[in-house]
Amino acid sequence: MKRLFDFTAASLALVLLSPVLLIIALFVKATSPGPAFYRGKRAGRQGKIFKVYKFRTMVANADRLGGSCTSEGDARVTRSGYWLRKFKLDELPQLLNVFVGDMSLVGPRPEVQEYVQLFTPEERAILSVRPGITDWASLWDRDEAQALAGHADPERAYLELIRPEKIRLQLEYVRRRSFATDLAILFATLRILVLRRSAPSSVRTSVQSPVRTTGGPEAGKI
């Protein structure tokens, strides 16, 4: 049922949002040299590597100019990319990943291989499900770039300050996942993105730690 829901929802969204996707792609091309889309390698279900789609928000070849984590004010982020990240529009192409089955609408955010290699045997349970566009950890860490702002070493700050709680919430999702939980997370995500509000208490209390409201999905990643 989850896969059927993902496929149907992604198909409808891609059709309805196709004019918006085209406009954003042209906007990216017109305001920054390079391709409209970024395709980054991520570890998916069972650790299978796939390419995640995003609108490009950084200069071309940004991954060769720095690490996979970015803090607020990172010089690699383009002017148009700043606004796309702010409103999470750069994540819309991941509907293609959901459509083809590499991702789900709800699930742990897909990580780069270097971070997956840090998983303990227990943490590898995260790889037992399809990665998703949003999850509890995404609601908790809504603006990773802002959270990393001011740190001289964003990579180290991510590993020490964000990753432990992110992993805990992802494991909690894997243990307690259900279709009802997915719907609650989707509605909470829409509430945040459209109304710019914090996650409702029903979602905050579904995990055993407060949801941080200073921070969207993978905002601080390339």
pLDDT tens sequence across 68-90: 666 566 788 898 898 898 888 99
Predicted pLDDT at 216: 39
Lowest pLDDT segment from 127-141, 157-171, 172-186, 206-220:
206-220
Q: In whole angstroms, what is the distance from residue 51 CA to residue 94 CA?
A: 10
Q: In whole angstroms, what is the distance from residue 58 CA to residue 82 CA?
A: 9
| Local confidence band at 149 (pLDDT 50, 70, 90 cut-offs) | low
Looking up tokens 């939980």 gives 181
| Residues of the chain above pLDDT 90, percent | 58
Predicted pLDDT at 141: 73
**Where are the chain's structural domains?**
2-204
| pTM to 2 decimal places | 0.82
CA dist list (Å): 40 to 55, 69, 94, 147, 156: 11, 13, 11, 22, 21
| Element holding 40 (H helix, E strand) | strand 37-43
Under 8 Å between Cβ of 102 and 130: yes
Predicted pLDDT at 217: 40
Q: In whole angstroms, what is the distance from residue 20 CA to residue 50 CA?
A: 25
Predicted pLDDT at 105: 97
User: What is the CB neighbour count within 10 angstroms for residue 139?
Assistant: 27
Predicted pLDDT at 61: 76
